[in-house]
Structure 1
Amino acid sequence: MSKSPLKSFINGAWVLPATSTATVDAINPATEEVCAVVAVCGHDDADRAVQAARAAFDGYAATTLEHRIALVEKLITIFERRYDEMVTAISTEMGAPYDLSYDAQAESGPGHLKATVKAVREMAWDYDVGTDGIVTHEPIGVCVLITPWNWPINQIVCKVGPALITGCTMVLKPSEMAPLSAQLFAEMVEEAGFPKGVFNMIHGTGASVGDTLTSHPEVDMISFTGSTRAGIQIAKNAADTVKRVAQELGGKSANIVFADSDLEAAVTRGVLHCYGNTGQSCNAPTRMLVEQSVYDEAVAIAARVAKAAQLGDPMKKGPHYGPVVSKAHYDKIQGLIQVGIDEGAQLVAGGTGRAEGFDRGYYVKPTVFAGVHNKMRIAQEEVFGPVLVLIPFIDEADAIAIANDSPYGLYAYVQTNDMDRARRVARLMRAGGVSINGTSQDYMAPFGGYKQSGNGREYGEFGVRDFLEIKSISGFRTA
């Protein structure tokens, strides 16, 4: 793989930074070898990208919806043609196992784009209000889109797709830790033929370009996915110019398992879902709340499933998990596992240290803690790795209280054979989404959270609306 510094895409051209010569190495987490070198943009490059988006906005916003849909549909065709390249890029840059990368990570690209096209065709763009007025929707303007490494193309496309199709122009800042998928996607956008300046992508770090992008007076809207800490700083940067800010931030999702559920299936499903993407998903069910009467049995099942989990090469097919994304992230997870031990939680699977059988790669042992209560750090802090805690509860009210006792509220889960209870509990859980008995979320359903898990919603029509202004015009229907 070429180690020439990756260029940014500004105003329809591939360019190196104007003044900076700094680079960042992207590391393959399975081999610990450099998989890409990123040329780090600075303030001047960020400003140039924003100005290109501003210059392109009026013309692109004036195009018809059907024209923009046609461009996005062409982008879908290109993506599907280069699908295997995207699978390889994601597995290489952040360690997603091949099957996960093929079936979910890469698939989210065309999946979200198709859902966005469906949503804009079905939603009402203009409608009557009052005796003679209308309400209409218009693109919000220049958007800055900042995306993470853990679901790299998912988060890129669920922002870029709605921005493109609503008539916005944009600057994408992907994670410098996972640049290969973003680079490939930018090539696809270029091939699809969007006008220059509509889509710009700059490589960089939060320190090198983050403040410039999020405080820039020519930016109208920021869509950010990442840590709650970074989200707070972005909101502060945006406040002086009253930008719209949509954020999808951290999570510590509760998974309530009632005694009347199929316990073997419910606990197994919960453990496997927690470990999916090697625990590096903001909506992972990392707190399993189990009814007291079946708690010991659930602990035994969870420990058995964790000990049977296999780790392996991300480039190979099979039902295994991959490494976590980086040495720094590996070290953070190790520290939090040690915190759990020091807090007195019962380690029933996994633990500290590199996973057995690996002398390189950031492989974390799939870990389960029992004897946890909700005031422990490992029950409150987002580990973002394959670490599950089991917490007992007494009754339904106790389960809901524990589930909601968190600074986060992104997602939640409930397992029971009593559907009346399932619906009742789902309504009472303070989270932006709830899964009942292992059901999956559709691309058209809104995704986002309560409390410190963010604001705004992505996916489908809900994601489209984040990129639109609402205008009412009175007298519009007067003869």
Structure 2
Amino acid sequence: MSIATDHALPEVTLRIGSESRSIGVAFHEHVNPATGQRDARVPLAGSADVDDAVQAAHQAFSLWRTTPARQRGRALLKLADLVEEHAGEFAALAIADNGTPQATAHASVAAAAEWIRYYGGWADKLPLGRITSVVSAGGSFGHTLRQPYGVIGAIITWNAPLMSLAMKVPAALAAGNTVVVKPSELTPFSAMLFADLVRAAGIPDGVFNVVPGGAEAGAALVDHPLVKKVTFTGGPETARKITAAAARTFKPVLLELGGKSANLVFADADLDAAARHSTFMAFGVMSGQACALPTRLLVQDSIYDAFVAKVADIAASFKVGNPEEADTVCGPVINQGAIDRVEAMVARAQEEGARVVAGGARAGGELAEGFYYPPTILADVDPSSELAHKEVFGPVLAVIRFTDEAHALALANDTDYGLSGYIWTSDARRAIRLTEQLETGEVVVNGAPNAVTERPFGGIGHSGNGNEGGLEGLEEFFWTKSVAYGDG
């Protein structure tokens, strides 16, 4: 299959081994969130298609796992280069997939290439095992082996399709596994180009397979007996179904779920830097549609009013509009359902006493046909309210006042989620104390980047289990075998 050379939307197909299928059990009409117009028909895989994809991956596993590690690594490094070379196409597809603004789309392509390159570099340096005992110490000779599972079922969400591929697939392939990916039917385009580039990188057919689909395809992938582990990015409700299904055969799952991350801003912080970072992270990254974003802004009471005003001023400067325009910061949300959810949550928050500082209503005028909702700031949010506890997955920031460090910590940990935590302070001792006490999978201080390749990324509680990123992300795709040799 040829690689796209322009920015036209690719035909969405099922990629199974060397085959490209344009028909599934049904079709989904893709809607461009920037315009509200249908622009493509997406074939949906059924259980038989999923079975074919898993069988292809299973057959390819014996070849791929015995491919020399340095060769697997070179293929992944080539894939990273190809992703960078096709940055323009990926950015255009991200705009079409879910309305990602151009600047964010290009940044995501660069980040995806780095994730692929990171795990490509690990392929021939894998932690293959360790010696556990030796005969000279009075026992048998024992050691462990770290072995790939086989077929990995990967189910990715719609908000960052290329990054989800990059955070899952390279680590699994570097470890010697094969993969069947089910991208969301809402965002199918990026996976098509990615699959083209996987083949162009020299990775054999069947090692990477794509089955766009809905709930039927996802359930068939999780249930398949030849799928040895499932990695899922999405929401807790779907994760519960996946976990329950996987439990029937004790199949391990890696879950990267949602978040309601707290952003603690103390009076001694660099308030200008904190305001810029807090505002951009709440609204400028996928219009609030990402799991690790700091959507609860906790501000010390002595600076509360001034800091809220700073954030509102910065948010007002963000252009909301056409994601194809270079100066757009905030694009649309994914669909009408997202608009309805955001509007309802904002209305309920106001009924519970929250004060709208910015935004608060769907964009009209020339943006009325698309799914645009401007940056919305709600101050004086009740810490026990729905908005303080439930993930909005849209451009809505809940601002809550705190008095001191103990109060801030109690508010931050008062959530079922546990993905990310953010701290702004000039007091290094306070930062160390809080990083130890925040109940989250990651903590970033004073604007450090989050979800980077070399550090593990994952959560606890309703934010999931397991890790992507770092050596820990690679180890997710091995199982451990204990071996011993006696002298009999």
TM > 0.5 between the two? yes
1:184 alignment partner in structure 2: 193
Displacement, 1:347?
A: 0.8
Once the two structures are superposed, what CA deviation does each residue of 1:299-345 show, in whole Å capped at 9, x if it has no partner?
22222222222212111212521111111112211111111111111
**Matched residue SS, 1:464:** helix
Segment drifting more, 276-285 vs 126-135: 126-135
Q: For the residues of structure 2 that align with 1:69 and 1:3, how far apart are their CA atoms?
A: 30
Is the 8 Å Cα contact of residues 119 and 460 (structure 1) preserved in structure 2? Answer: no
Residue 430 of structure 1 aligns with an amino acid whose one-letter code is E
Displacement, 1:354?
A: 2.2
1:331 alignment partner in structure 2: 340
Q: For the residues of structure 1 that align with 2:418 and 2:33, how far apart are their CA atoms?
A: 30
Q: For the residues of structure 2 that align with 1:306 and 1:87, how far apart are their CA atoms?
A: 24
Query: Is it true that 1:464 corresponds to 2:470 in the alignment?
Result: no
Is the 8 Å Cα contact of residues 73 and 121 (structure 2) preserved in structure 1? Answer: no
Displacement, 1:122?
A: 4.6
2:76 to 69, 72, 75: 72
Cα 1:2/1:81, change in 2 over 3 Å: closer
Cα 1:323/1:428, change in 2 over 3 Å: same
Displacement, 1:24?
A: 0.6
Matches within 5 A, 1:375-414: 375-414=384-423
Residue 289 of structure 1 aligns with an amino acid whose one-letter code is L
Is the 8 Å Cα contact of residues 153 and 231 (structure 2) preserved in structure 1? Answer: yes
Is the 8 Å Cα contact of residues 34 and 323 (structure 2) preserved in structure 1? Answer: yes
Cα 1:400/1:4, change in 2 over 3 Å: closer
1:216 to 224, 249, 262: 224
1:474 alignment partner in structure 2: 484
Is the 8 Å Cα contact of residues 456 and 470 (structure 2) preserved in structure 1? Answer: yes
Once the two structures are superposed, what CA deviation does each residue of 1:92-148 show, in whole Å capped at 9, x if it has no partner?
211111111112x21222110111123345553232222232222111111100011
Once the two structures are superposed, what CA deviation does each residue of 1:183-238 show, in whole Å capped at 9, x if it has no partner?
110111122232222111111112x2121111111110000000111011100111
Q: For the residues of structure 2 that align with 1:304 and 1:416, how far apart are their CA atoms?
A: 22
1:59 to 34, 57, 63: 63
**Matched residue SS, 1:96:** coil
**Matched residue SS, 2:179:** strand
Is the 8 Å Cα contact of residues 367 and 388 (structure 1) preserved in structure 2? Answer: yes
Is the 8 Å Cα contact of residues 24 and 37 (structure 1) preserved in structure 2? Answer: yes
Matches within 5 A, 1:259-278: 259-275=267-283, 276-278=285-287
Q: For the residues of structure 1 that align with 2:328 and 2:425, how far apart are their CA atoms?
A: 27
1:107 to 105, 110, 124: 110
Matches within 5 A, 1:299-448: 299-318=308-327, 320-354=329-363, 358-441=367-450, 442-448=452-458
Displacement, 1:408?
A: 0.3
Displacement, 1:53?
A: 1.4
TM-score for both structures, normalised by structure 2: 0.93
Displacement, 1:44?
A: 0.8
Q: For the residues of structure 1 that align with 2:147 and 2:116, how far apart are their CA atoms?
A: 20
Q: For the residues of structure 1 that align with 2:408 and 2:147, how far apart are their CA atoms?
A: 44
**Matched residue SS, 2:209:** strand
Displacement, 1:2?
A: 7.0
Displacement, 1:4?
A: 8.5
Query: Is it true that 1:23 corresponds to 2:31 in the alignment?
Result: no
Q: For the residues of structure 2 that align with 1:91 and 1:3, how far apart are their CA atoms?
A: 11
Q: For the residues of structure 1 that align with 2:421 and 2:326, how far apart are their CA atoms?
A: 30
Aligned CA RMSD, in angstroms, stands at 1.8
Is the 8 Å Cα contact of residues 415 and 437 (structure 1) preserved in structure 2? Answer: yes
Is the 8 Å Cα contact of residues 131 and 142 (structure 2) preserved in structure 1? Answer: yes
Q: For the residues of structure 2 that align with 1:310 and 1:448, how far apart are their CA atoms?
A: 31
Query: Is it true that 1:128 corresponds to 2:131 in the alignment?
Result: yes
Segment drifting more, 223-232 vs 119-128: 119-128
2:247 alignment partner in structure 1: 239
Q: For the residues of structure 2 that align with 1:65 and 1:5, how far apart are their CA atoms?
A: 33
Is the 8 Å Cα contact of residues 125 and 137 (structure 1) preserved in structure 2? Answer: yes
Percent of residue pairs identical: 36
Once the two structures are superposed, what CA deviation does each residue of 1:339-387 show, in whole Å capped at 9, x if it has no partner?
1111111111110222565232111021111111211101111001111
Residue 14 of structure 1 aligns with an amino acid whose one-letter code is S
Is the 8 Å Cα contact of residues 433 and 447 (structure 1) preserved in structure 2? Answer: yes
2:93 alignment partner in structure 1: 89
**Matched residue SS, 1:473:** strand
Query: Is it true that 1:289 corresponds to 2:298 in the alignment?
Result: yes
2:156 alignment partner in structure 1: 147
Displacement, 1:77?
A: 2.7
**Matched residue SS, 1:408:** coil
Question: How many residues were matched structurally?
Answer: 474
**Matched residue SS, 2:485:** coil
Q: Which runs of 5+ in 1 are unaligned?
A: none
